[in-house]
């Protein structure tokens, strides 16, 4: 996944500490029951457990590959939005001219038209990133205890779409966009209508109009691809069953691991009585390591399933959109005091 979050070993241990404590509790109870209550008859052979573990490992690997594919596709889509937005800004400044007008307009009016369309494009990106941050029933990673305690929140959760849109578009455009279910689509329709009006006035040459419409078509395509990832989750039958299979393996593992360590302890008793008697307790660290690896890999896959959810592991669409806005407004000649700053990085994480 694309992120600026740098997971050190300490952060990873802290991220998974609740599950680690649960694993310690599970195996401690099992070893204590085996050691103090003489429950040596509760055991299963390694063969079925090895088969289950192999199957779980394959499914986890498939989930992680699929999750990475969704993240990488999302990053490519928003990379395309970056490139297309820069192209659009360049076209607007060079194609909105008096070259083909019968009645030339002032340079100030031309610059105003360029600014209006550029600002509406920024509004489109703003509406799109808000749409991508809308919670879905299958997006549950952001509600995890560790995410809540780290207070990892994208900026869209601290502001409304209405507040973020108003600085960029007129009241009539705002009212029209807010009356539609799909706000980004409404803004692109407004762009097309505006370009058509300028073409009819001769401010945009017909060939230039076709080029600009092609850019809008590409923006529609990129928006649709982004919406597809947002609205179609990683198949629940894979995600849910994989989670259950992992826990089946983790809960059955002590029934094979504890007797194995106890058997090794019996073999050591002749030469090392104390070590042999207590050797079964060495099951605890080995079990915790194995269970932690399986669970952490499965959790990593879950955190990457929804690349727009707004967690530390997602595509930083807010930062990308704000970066495009800064580029476009600087190229309009605005000063740094007029342009909003980039969203801050928190815990080495871009949003």
* Residues in contact with 164: Cβ distance below 8 Å, sequence separation at least 6, in sequence order: 126, 130
Give one DSSP letter per residue of 169-187, joined into a string: S-HHHHHHHHTSS-HHHHH
Give me the pLDDT at residue 8, please. 62
* Residues in contact with 122: Cβ distance below 8 Å, sequence separation at least 6, in sequence order: 168, 324, 325, 328, 329
Question: Tens of pLDDT along 256-281?
Answer: 999 999 999 988 888 888 888 889 99
Tokens of 202: 């001769």
Question: Tens of pLDDT along 195-215?
Answer: 999 999 999 999 999 999 999
Tell me 7's DSSP state: -
Tokens of 129: 């990133």
Phi/psi-derived region of residue 333, left when phi > 0, alpha when psi is between -120 and 50, beta in every other case: left
Question: Tens of pLDDT along 32-72?
Answer: 998 888 777 778 888 899 999 999 999 999 999 999 999 99
DSSP three-state, residue 150? helix
Neighbours of 155 (CB within 10 A): 18
CA distances from 213 to 53, 177, 221 (A): 54, 19, 12
Neighbours of 309 (CB within 10 A): 24
Q: Classify residue 346: in a domain, yes or no.
A: no
Distance linking the first and last C-alpha atoms of the chain: 13
Q: Which of 195, 122, 193 is closest to 164 using CA atoms? A: 122
Tokens of 23: 């694993």
CB 63 within 8 A of CB 237: no
Residues of the chain with pLDDT under 70: 1-9, 142-147
Bridge partners, 349 (sequence order) = 346
Distance CA 348, CA 110 (A): 42
Q: Classify residue 345: in a domain, yes or no.
A: no
Give me the pLDDT at residue 1, please. 38
Number of domains in the chain: 1
CB 165 within 8 A of CB 123: yes
Tell me 37's DSSP state: S
Q: Classify residue 54: in a domain, yes or no.
A: yes
Q: Classify residue 337: in a domain, yes or no.
A: no
CB 265 within 8 A of CB 280: yes
Q: Classify residue 67: in a domain, yes or no.
A: yes
Residue ranges making up the domain that contains 230: 9-331
Q: Classify residue 351: in a domain, yes or no.
A: no
Phi (first) and psi of residue 286, to 5 degrees: -70, -40
Q: Classify residue 240: in a domain, yes or no.
A: yes
Tokens of 165: 């849109």
CB 313 within 8 A of CB 3: yes
Distance CA 152, CA 147 (A): 6
Bridge partners, 96 (sequence order) = 204
Give me the pLDDT at residue 274, please. 87
Q: Classify residue 1: in a domain, yes or no.
A: no
Distance CA 91, CA 252 (A): 63
Distance CA 54, CA 140 (A): 27
């Amino acid at each position: 996944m694309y992120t600026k979050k740098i997971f050190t070993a300490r952060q990873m241990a802290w991220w998974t500490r609740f599950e680690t404590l649960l694993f310690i509790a599970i195996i401690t109870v099992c070893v204590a029951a085996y050691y103090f209550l003489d429950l040596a008859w509760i055991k299963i052979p390694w063969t079925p457990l090895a088969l289950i573990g192999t199957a779980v490992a394959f499914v986890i690997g498939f989930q992680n590959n699929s999750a990475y594919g969704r993240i990488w596709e999302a990053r490519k889509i928003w990379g395309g939005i970056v490139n297309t937005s820069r192209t659009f800004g360049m076209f607007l400044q060079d194609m909105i001219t008096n070259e083909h007008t019968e009645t030339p307009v002032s340079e100030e009016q031309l610059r105003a038209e360029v600014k209006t369309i550029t600002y509406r494009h920024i509004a489109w990106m703003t509406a799109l990133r808000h749409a991508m941050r809308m919670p879905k029933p299958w997006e549950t990673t952001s509600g995890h205890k560790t995410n809540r305690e780290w207070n990892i929140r994208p900026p869209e959760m601290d502001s409304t779409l209405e507040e973020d849109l108003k600085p960029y578009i007129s009241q009539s455009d705002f009212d029209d966009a807010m009356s539609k279910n799909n706000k980004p689509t409404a803004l692109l329709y407004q762009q097309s209508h505006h370009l058509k009006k300028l073409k009819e006035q001769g401010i945009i040459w017909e060939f230039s109009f076709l080029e600009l419409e092609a850019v809008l078509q590409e923006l529609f395509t990129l928006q649709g691809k982004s919406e597809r990832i947002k609205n179609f989750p990683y198949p629940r039958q894979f995600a849910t069953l994989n989670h259950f299979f992992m826990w089946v393996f983790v809960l059955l593992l002590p029934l094979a691991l504890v007797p194995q360590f106890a058997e090794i302890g019996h073999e050591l008793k002749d030469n090392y009585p104390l070590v042999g008697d207590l050797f079964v307790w060495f099951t605890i660290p080995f079990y915790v390591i194995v269970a932690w690896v399986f669970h952490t890999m499965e959790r990593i896959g879950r955190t990457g399933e929804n690349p727009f959810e707004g967690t530390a592991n997602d595509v930083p669409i807010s930062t990308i959109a704000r970066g495009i806005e800064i580029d476009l407004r600087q190229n309009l000649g605005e000063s740094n005091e007029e342009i909003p700053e980039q969203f801050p990085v928190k815990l080495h994480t871009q949003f």
